[in-house]
Homo-oligomer: A and B are copies of this chain.
């Protein structure tokens, strides 16, 4: 489940960010590099307004844990590499999602994205 989601999420992010709307809901939260927003419309606007056109996510690690054994919610944690147009240097990132069940599938309730800079 985690792998399928992550593959779909970054493929969609890297090809047509507007299509990510289907993965969020009215109560979804995104904190992108410390900037918070809430709700599918605000989140998709934020993602579309990011100052790059071409972007590629490469997943390095993927971890998943049950976030709530009663509801079936899942935590999915990704680390990887981000390649942005005109940047010669790839950047490391870490992203945490909580996926909650919705109508036989899942949607993103929590989404926290951070670039991770080299330690030294």
Report the copy number of this chain in the oligomer: 2
Task: Check if A67 sits within 8 Å of B98, measured CB to CB.
Answer: yes
Other-chain residue from B75, B89, B109, B117 in contact with A110 (beta carbon distance below 8 A): B75
A103-120 toward B: CB 8 Å interface, digit per residue (1/0)?
Answer: 000000110101011111
Give the shortest distance, in Å, between A113 (CB) and chain B (any CB): 9
Task: Check if B65 sits within 8 Å of A68, measured CB to CB.
Answer: no
* Residue A21 CB within 8 A of the other chain: no
Interface of chain A: mostly helix, strand, loop or mixed = strand
We find that the number of chain A residues with CB closer than 8 angstroms to chain B is: 35
Q: Determine the chain B residues whose CB is within 8 A of the CB of A60 once the complex forms.
A: 117
Interface CB pairs A-B, < 8 A, 22: A29-B65, A31-B63, A60-B117, A63-B114, A65-B112, A67-B67, A67-B98, A67-B110, A68-B68, A68-B73, A75-B110, A75-B112, A77-B96, A77-B112, A77-B114, A79-B94, A79-B114, A81-B119, A91-B119, A92-B119, A94-B94, A96-B96
